[in-house]
Structure formats: structure tokens, C-alpha cells
Amino acid sequence: MVFIMGKKIPLSVAIITKNEADNIPDCLRSVSFADQIVVVDSGSTDGTVQLASDLGCEVYEETWKGFGYQKQLAIDRCRNQWILVLDADERIPNETAEAIKKIIAGAGRDVAGYSFPRKNYFQGKWIRHMGWWPDRIVRLFRKGSGRMAEAAVHESVIVDGKIVELDVPIVHFTESSLSKILLKIEQYSTLGAAEAFKEGKTSSIWEAALRAELAFFQNYFLRLGFLDGKQGFILSVTDSVNKFFKYAKLSELSRNTKNK
């Protein structure tokens, strides 16, 4: 890597991008201690590819095939014994970096992977309720022991072997622009509906409305989203909208199939 002085450790970082020019510099700086950073891009038009390349990453351009598939492409290009999967809007704070360095230096052979609590920030606020904390995720694993689940959305790392829970966090700055959130809802609800349809699930417009209502009630009241202030309210609403469109689109897919 060329942008930060200091000793590198034998760690590979796998990142996927599309139009992440606002996020990628800070993300890369937070893992500057790794001696390999692999970026798989899927058609950025905002200079993301050039930024990542200028900062010393190994950049590959691939046609978009789904979140899990894209991340696996990045993992497959990692050469070190330990691999860290990171999103462009995530950061590794100093305390977590130090913990990772110690793991790389002396992890036992019986450990296959590590999980982290994730601190999610929305519109500048750390969201502590609605299941957003500790939001534990597996991201660090031994090469050959971990892989991405074959999911188009809500992808996760699957590790074969012992997983150790760490107390140090990964920091996530989730999208805060309402306009961009609406675009994500369009994308995620479409992917979620297609995945559910593939699994043989069905829905109706009334079920979609009920699921949306229940999602808001669960997030805002049962999961104490109201304690997160206006941000908690916004997130409860947007999750409810996402649920409605996912199941409304599933209903549409089912109806179109019957009409053929």
C-alpha cells in the first residue's frame, strides 16, 4: 500500500464498490495496516476505481451479479492466510485494528474466524436499539475456512470451524440521505422479492400492508426505536416501507406467473 507509512501485516481485505468515492478513502485508511486490499468494482462512474487504484489497492472490475457473489469474487483474489471482509461505508477503528494485529500475530490453529459487534450510525447518531446494536457480524476468517452465502441481498460470511466473539467494533456509517435510501429500498425490495419467489414463497397486497405495519410496530415500540429519537422514527418508517414493497412485489411476481 502506498498511502500510509508503517509496517504492514499479512492480512487481505476484500471490498466491493459501486460509486463509493465519498466513502472509499476513509475506509481504506482504516485498514492501511493490511498488506493487500482487493477492491471489486461493478461499474462506478464517480472516480471510485481511480481513487482505489491511486491508494494502492488491487482493483478488479466485474459485472454486477449480486452482493454475495461480488464479495466472493474479492475473497477469491485474496492471497493471505487471514481475510477481512469490509463494506465501503465501514471503518476499522484503532482499537479494532490493534486487536486484529494481535490475532494475525498469534491466532491459534483451532480458530477459523472472528465476529465483531457493529456500531451503526445514521444521520450522525449511533443507533443502539431496533436490533442495530450489537449487530454482531463475522468478518475475519482464515483463508479456506470462510465463504460468502449465495444470497443476492443480506449476504453473510459462512465459516466452517470455531468462531470467537470479539468485543472491539466495526463502525458502519449507513446511508443517511433520504433520496438515496429510497433508491436502496427500490433495489433491496426487488432483490428480496425475487429471492423469496425463488424459494417458492407467495404474498398478497394485504399481507404486504400487514407486514409493513408490524415492522414499524416492532421496530419503534417493541425494539425501543423511539429511544433513538427522530433517527429511530425514520429508520422504523423506512424499514416498514421496504417490507411493504418487498411483499407487494412478491405478490406481483406470483400474480404474473399465474397469468402466463
Q: Is residue 63 part of a domain?
A: yes
Residues 159 and 222 in one domain: no
Identify whether the C-beta of residue 153 lies closer than 8 Å to the C-beta of residue 191: yes
- More confident of the two residues 258 and 248: 248
Q: Is residue 3 part of a domain?
A: no
For 189-206, the pLDDT digits (tens) are 999 999 999 999 999 999
Same domain flag for 163 and 211: no
Contact indicator for 87, 15 with CB cutoff of 8 Å: yes
Average per-residue pLDDT in the chain?
Answer: 94
Whether residues 92 and 188 share a domain: the answer is no
Based on the domain organization, do 188 and 147 belong to the same domain?
Answer: no
Which residues are 137's β-sheet partners? Answer: 116
Q: List the alpha helices (DSSP H) in the chain.
A: 24-30, 48-54, 67-76, 94-106, 178-198, 205-217, 229-258
> What integer pLDDT is reported at residue 4 of this predicted model?
46
Which residue in 214, 223, 230 sits closest to 178, CA to CA? 230
pLDDT value at residue 2: 45
Q: What is the CATH number of the domain that holds 151?
A: 3.90.550.10
Co-location of 194 and 251 in the same domain: yes
Q: Give the DSSP H or E segment for 126.
A: strand 125-126
pTM recorded for the entire structure:
0.93
DSSP 87: -
Q: Are residues 146 and 237 in the same domain?
A: no
What does the pLDDT look like over 7-56, one tens digit per residue? 899 999 999 999 999 999 999 999 999 999 999 999 999 999 999 999 99
Residues 150 and 201 in one domain: no
Residue with cell 465476529: 115
Q: Which of 79-88, 152-161, 247-256 has the lowest mean pLDDT?
A: 152-161
Model confidence band, residue 136 (pLDDT cutoffs 50, 70, 90) = very high
Contact 120, 172 (CB under 8 A): yes
pLDDT class of 75 with cuts at 50, 70, 90: very high
Q: Select from 101, 102, 113, 109 the least CA-distant residue to 35.
A: 101
In a domain, 2, yes or no: no
Mean pLDDT of 120-125: 98
Which pLDDT belongs to residue 153?
Answer: 75
Q: What is the mean pLDDT of residues 53-77?
A: 96
Residue 260 has what pLDDT? 64
Q: Same domain, yes or no, for 214 and 250?
A: yes
Q: Is residue 1 part of a domain?
A: no
Per-residue pLDDT reduced to its tens digit, 168-185:
999 999 999 999 999 999
Euclidean distance between CA atoms 13 and 55, whole angstroms: 14
Tally of domains within the chain: 2
CB neighbour list of residue 193: distance below 8 Å, 6 or more residues apart: 245, 246, 247, 249, 250, 252, 253
H helix or E strand, kind and range, residue 138: strand 137-142
116 within 8 A of 90, measured Cβ to Cβ? no
What pLDDT does residue 257 have? 79
Same domain, 137 and 188: no
* Mean pLDDT score, 227-252: 98
Residue ranges making up the domain that contains 249: 178-258
Regarding whether 84 and 15 lie in a shared domain, the answer is yes
Single residue among 173, 198, 215 that ends a domain in this structure: 173
Residue 107 has pLDDT above 90, yes or no: no
Q: Percent of the chain having pLDDT more than 70?
A: 97
pLDDT at 1: 45
- For 63-67, 147-151, 242-246, which range has the lowest pLDDT when averaged over its residues? 147-151
Q: Give which of 122, 136, 119 is closest to 233, Cα–Cα.
A: 122
User: Do 155 and 193 fall into the same domain?
Assistant: no
Query: Bigger pLDDT: 227 or 153?
Result: 227
User: Of the candidates 139, 31, 142, which has an alpha carbon nearest to the alpha carbon of residue 82?
Assistant: 142
Cβ partners under 8 Å of residue 151, min gap 6? 66, 67, 68, 195
Distance (Å, whole) CA 67 – CA 84 = 16
